[in-house]
Amino acid sequence: MPNTQVARTISASAKINLTLSVTGRDDKGYHKLVSAVAFTDFGDKLHLQDASDMRLDIDGPFASQLHGDNADNLLNHAHGLAKNYAQTAGLPLPSCHHILLEKHIPIGGGLGGGSADAAAYLRFLSAKWGEEHITALRALSVTLGADVPACFDNHSHIMAGIGEAPTRIAPSPSSKDWPYMVITNPHCHGDTASVFKAYARSQTRFSPNTPKEIADIVSQEDWGGLFAIGNDLTDAACHLYPEIGTLLFEMGNFGRALGSAFIGHAMSGSGASCFALFTTDYSAHSFQQACQERGFWSVQTRFF
């Protein structure tokens, strides 16, 4: 944001699908999901300054991969949603902003980057409102994308349906005490709609997993149980994007070389990003270095 003083900075945390089960289809043909979702210290930054109109600039490692109009539209839609709700509820209208989006989350990576950005902006715009109004705005945020309500809450969830009804997980004692993590990406941009279409062509049955079953596994911190459930979209994504399969294969090799400190690995969302969990900071660091040496993008982080 050249020649201006940044008034405030907000964080948009990357989303990780620890599990993803496709459980059916609704009457509109959308796939119904059950997914354990968590958030990380790693993510995008939004630098905001009050302005008379909305403007977006994009910077950061993945700025060149993001079409400005798409990001601009999503953040403008978030502002419009908050403004329309404020008018209806008789609340003070939110300010317009010049936004510098510092893009660290890979584009099309299954990490909810666009949803996280929109949700973080909505949280900021509604922060001065009462709790009942924030809750109402959160419910409306599904119109921006299925992941936005969970990203709005920004804490561990079970997402059910198409994302409109996340149920909070209550980890004990805190997700901060969950394992160390490395997020990876094979420099591949996955298309969610294409992955779901490929899944539909190959799918023979839906998963029987229920939100309660998965919530119980997460609450017990049964990481082996979570990796056993896995991600139902993995085969479809690997068929469309062989780079993901290569990455998962290499991650398995890197992890097994670390012995018992390696908990497991999986794909997040519809891809292309994947993640691995570890019992120690040292093993996570070693794993990240191995990924980088093989040319994969990677970052070490912790659960939020």
Tens-digit pLDDT profile for residues 129-169: 988 998 899 888 989 988 898 899 898 889 888 766 677 66
Whether the CB-CB separation of 159 and 21 falls below 8 Å is answered with: no
Closest by Cα among 241, 242, 162 to 194? 241
Q: What is the mean pLDDT of residues 103-114?
A: 93
Same domain, 46 and 162: yes
For residue 34, the domain's CATH number is: 3.30.230.10
The residue from 15, 44, 72, 117 that is catalytic is 15
Same domain, 18 and 82: yes
Domain residue limits at 116: 8-168
| Least trusted range by pLDDT, from 35-39, 84-88, 203-207, 269-273 | 203-207
Q: What is the mean pLDDT of residues 205-228?
A: 93
Residue 173: cis peptide before it, omega within 30 degrees of 0: yes
d(CA 164, CA 179): 28
Q: What is the mean pLDDT of residues 230-246?
A: 97
Q: Which of 153, 168, 183 is the last residue of a domain?
A: 168
Question: Does the residue 263 lie in any domain?
Answer: yes
Question: Does the residue 3 lie in any domain?
Answer: no
For residue 254, the domain's CATH number is: 3.30.70.890
Residues present in the chain in total: 304
Q: Which of 146, 168, 190 is the last residue of a domain?
A: 168
Q: Which of 119, 135, 168 is the last residue of a domain?
A: 168
DSSP annotation of 2 reads T
State residue 76's pLDDT score: 85
The residue from 72, 117, 147, 232 that is catalytic is 147
Same domain, 34 and 55: yes
Q: Could you confirm whether 15 is annotated as catalytic?
A: yes
Same domain, 144 and 18: yes
Same domain, 135 and 283: no
Q: Could you confirm whether 103 is annotated as catalytic?
A: no
How many distinct structural domains can be found in the chain?
Answer: 2
